Amino acid sequence: MFEQTKGENNVAKVDISLIGCHHARGHHRQLCRTGRGSTRRRVKRVSLGGESGGQITGTFYWIQNTAWHPVHQLTQLSFLEGCADQGLTCELATTDEGSLEAFLALAEQTVARPEARGIAMWAGGLPAVAPIIEKAKARNIPVALPHFPVPEGTFADNAVQIAADTSKYPDDIAKAMCDRLKGQTGSVAVTQNGPNATENAVAEGFTAGMAQYCPDIKVLDPQMEGAEPTKAIAVAVSIMQANPDIIGALSTTGGGPTTWAGAQKETGKEIVAIGMDYTRVNLDLVKSGQVYAIVAQPLYDESKGSAELLFKMANGIDVPYWTVLDAPVVTEKDTGEYYALLDRMESKMRPTPAP
């Protein structure tokens, strides 16, 4: 699927000093806070010479597989918003297929496009994209890598990343969990969709944080819940059966809130459950009290921010290797701004078939 947004190229916008900080409200706060703080911890100036002083020609691409997924659709639309703000000509280079092979083929084709001027890749931090980034470098194409942080030096130096720090925000989740469970003892479960670097890091960081903030509470070894809800709920129920002292649960995946709400419904036992991602179902589960909180991974900001990073790099402006974003823990009282964001973005998603 190729979807395009066109705007007037405007290099005057390079004056924006920190990504997104002209918006100081709502979800944009995430970007602003980190722009002033942690972003500067890991500064590696990346610049590709660019077209400073002239108009940017060419097209900027968002490359992603599993394009139908609502979270992915949100990121696509966010990227296009970022492009519109920067006056960039952007296209979505996406596939509904979920395989790595399909993604790599798409990325190869996109980098080879003569009009390609910059690419943002939802690449999962996988080493398999390294040769593609090298090819992009050979063509002087900057690359933005949102969401999946990898150590600097993993890829060629034309690539920068924008993502929450998986070594930091699990600590915030542990704090929130411990605050909520203050004075209680028992065990807390951790479930993942599957084994992958990001979820593993979140699980490990959360376990370490819990040990620090509430050492009397035992954190169980992670279990894999998978993506299918009925099977995921069955896994969560099994965990609750095996651990009668369970008082809380963290799921490191976006299906987690449904999983743990379902498990509580099945067992009739209430626990403090925290899951990931501000999808509408998840927000509704938080709002209804079935789930205590969700972790708002910065999907909007990192996707929109990718466009801004590409704009800067294409203009020869230095950017840090890692633009670190917050992933706040969102409880019922904080859900409003995320509902507002979804109201705005969901209306632009692929339409449901009309009668």
Partner 1 sequence: MGRMYAPAERKQDTAAGREPGFFRMLFMRQEIAILIPFVLITLFFYWRNAAMLSPLSISTTLRTMSFPGLIGMGMVLLMISGEIDLSTGAVISLTAVFAAWLMKTMALPVSLSVLLALVLALLVGLGNAWLTVKVGLNSIIATMGMQFVARGVSYSFTSGVPIYPLPESVAILGNLRPLGLSFTFFLMLALVVVIQIVLNQTRWGALIYATGGNRMAAEMCGINTGRVKTVCFMLTSFFAGIAGLLTMSQMPIPSGDPIFGRNIELDIIVGVVVGGVSLFGGRGSAIGTLLGVLLMQVVRSGLVIAGFDAYWQIPALGALLMAAASVDVIRNRSRER
Binding residues for partner 1, rule: CB under 8 A, are 68-70, 72-73, 96, 192, 195, 221-224, 226-231, 233-235, 237-239, 241-242, 244, 255, 258, 261-262, 265-267, 279-281, 284-285, 288, 290, 346, 349-353, 355
Residue 61: CB minimum distance to partner 1, A? 21
| Least gap, CB of 349 to partner 1 (angstroms) | 5
Query: Least distance (Å) from partner 1 to the CB of residue 213?
Result: 25
Distances (CA, A) of 39 to 171, 243, 320, 335: 18, 41, 7, 26
38 or 267: CB nearest partner 1 = 267
- Minimum separation from the CB atom of position 52 to partner 1 (A): 40
CB of 292 or CB of 311, closer to partner 1: 292
Lookup: tokens for 37: 């703080």
Closer by beta carbon to partner 1, 79 or else 155: 79
Of 16 and 234, nearer to partner 1 (C-beta) is 234
How far apart (Å, rounded) are the C-alpha atoms in residues 149 and 222? Answer: 21
- Reduced to 3 states (helix: H, G, I; strand: E, B; else coil), residue 11 is helix
| Nearest residue to 344 (alpha-carbon basis) of 317, 304, 309, 287 | 304
We find the least distance from the C-beta atom of residue 280 to partner 1, in angstroms, to be: 7
Per the structure block, which two tokens stand in for 256?
Answer: 């987690």
Token pair, residue 246, equals 């369970």
Distances 159 to 60, 129, 166 between C-alpha atoms, Å? 14, 11, 19
329: part of which helix (H) or strand (E)?
strand 329-331
The three-state secondary structure class of 218 is: strand
Q: Which residue has the tokens 């090298």?
A: 134
- Residue closer to partner 1 (CB basis): 54 or 195: 195
